Amino acid sequence: MQKPGRIYLVGAGPGDPELLTIKAARLLDRADAVIYDRLVSDEILELANPFAERVYVGKSTGSHSLKQSEINTLLVHMARKHCHIVRLKGGDPYIFGRGGEEAEWLSLHDVPFEVVPGITAAAGCMAQLNLPLTHRGLATSVRFVTGHMQADAEPHHDWRSLADPDTTLAIYMGVKTMPVIAGKLLEHGLPGDTPVMIIENGSTPDQRHFRSTLGNVCDDLNRLDFDPPCMIVIGRVISLADRLSLPVVNLLPESTFDKNVTSDRPDGDLRYVHTA
């Protein structure tokens, strides 16, 4: 039997092609085949060998062109067909990218593979706003948390430990379950005035973001109609936006705020959106 080719599980980063690693770009340039997800931009795909076979598997939250089991089977098939295969995933393949499942399948079928990390969405999106995930006096830790569960079930987490004011929470795939997430965190003691930042299409030309609070974020999400992919960051580090972040433009109806973007809330919370 012919020796199988090598598969590279490559992170494409949060969206901006300039945030791709040098190694990822080099592997794309020499690839015989590229298997990629929906969140991989055309600009990143342009870096691939123009003669490489390209296979779109269309994975996004709640919508898959192929089931994960079918993607696993496809990877083994491509390894028997090509020498250098890039499995290209948004963000980092091992952070809510199901890269570990694909690695297990490849190992089970004796297909050699290598993992090439990418900048995960939480780091990339926050850096785009000049905001840190940890900061002395504001956050001593950061936790990456999925807001998505199988079969549309509610996310099951240790909410008591998550409701820690000294921790930054980076919620992936949490737009649809934000009412549950916010409710559980409030129920377990995280203050309603805890700052929240929602970033849609982070680090891309279509980026939008807005700042809210834990007690108001669900109403704001409904009003602004943000869609996945979104990164939700909860924690006191968001308060640094007043000093570090980009200027913001109010996109809410004028009936909500005047032209000076002043708040109509006693807590002074500003719900505003910036477009990159």
Give 85-103 pLDDT, tens digit per residue.
Answer: 999 999 999 999 999 999 9
Length of the chain equals 276
Distance CA(14)–CA(122), nearest Å, equals 8
For position 51, what pLDDT does the model report?
A: 98
Residue 262 vs residues 142, 226, 265, 273: alpha-carbon distances, Å:
31, 22, 9, 13
Average pLDDT over residues 252-265: 37
Concerning whether 59 is annotated as a catalytic residue, the answer is: yes
What's CA 17's distance to the chain center, in Å? 15
Among 78, 126, 173, 178, the one annotated catalytic: 173
Res. 266: pLDDT tops 60: no
pLDDT at 4 over 60: yes
Please provide the DSSP assignment of 147-170 as one string. ---GGGPPP---HHHH--TTEEEE
pLDDT of residue 264: 36
Catalytic residue among 16, 59, 178, 197: 59
For the chain, list the domains and their CATH numbers: 6-119 (3.40.1010.10), 122-275 (3.30.950.10)
Catalytic: 264? no
Predicted confidence (pLDDT) at residue 252 exceeds the cutoff of 70: no
Given the residues 16, 37, 164, 220, select the one marked as catalytic. 37
Q: Which residue has the tokens 């006693």?
A: 266
Mean pLDDT of 269-273: 45
Average pLDDT, the chain: 88
Q: What is the pTM of this model?
A: 0.87
CB burial of residue 178 (10 Å; 0-12, 13-18, 19+): buried
> Is pLDDT larger for residue 247 or for residue 44?
44
* 178 annotated active-site: no
